[in-house]
Amino acid sequence: MSPTALPSSARICVYRGRELEEIIAGPDFVTVHDDGLDAPDAIDRGDSGKGPWVRLPTSSCDRRYRRDVTAVWDGQQVYVVGTHGSSAAITFQGDPQWARDHGLSGSQHESWGGSAPLDELTGVTVRERDLA
């Protein structure tokens, strides 16, 4: 599976026709990564360890939604939270032995996390749910 073909789970603000991943959402604002975004109604801008960001009023978003991406890896359902090169960052809630056997770290109480080869993921499901 190609990295560009697999979206990641995220909260999304559609702003001026662009889908932007939300970093933080407040009662009347969203903060998104700023890649030179033309945002005349920006409330604030700044920089963090993960790069520049811009804060927008939620009323400026054309749509806000949550995208959940799941896949099957070696017979178990995993939650895809990102991609990098030929790997997917995943979380898993299930059998601790399976998680350890697949190199995941964490616990059965707080979930397991790690990476999986993209070409081993099957049964990808993408669900979108509008946010208020």
Per residue in 26-38, pLDDT (tens digit) is 999 999 999 889 9
Q: Encode pLDDT of 41-89 as tens digits.
A: 999 999 988 889 999 999 999 999 999 999 999 999 999 999 988 999 9
* pTM score above 0.85: no
Nearest alpha carbon to residue 36 among 54, 49, 50, 63: 54
Residues forming beta bridges with residue 77, ordered by sequence position: 72
pLDDT at 5: 64
Q: Tens digits of per-residue pLDDT, 111-120?
A: 999 999 999 9
pLDDT attached to residue 62: 96
**In angstroms, what CA-CA distances link 25 with 35, 63, 109, 132?**
18, 14, 26, 11
Look at residue 132 and tell me whether its pLDDT is greater than 80: no
Residues 56 and 121 sit within 8 Å (Cβ to Cβ): no
CB 56 within 8 A of CB 39: yes
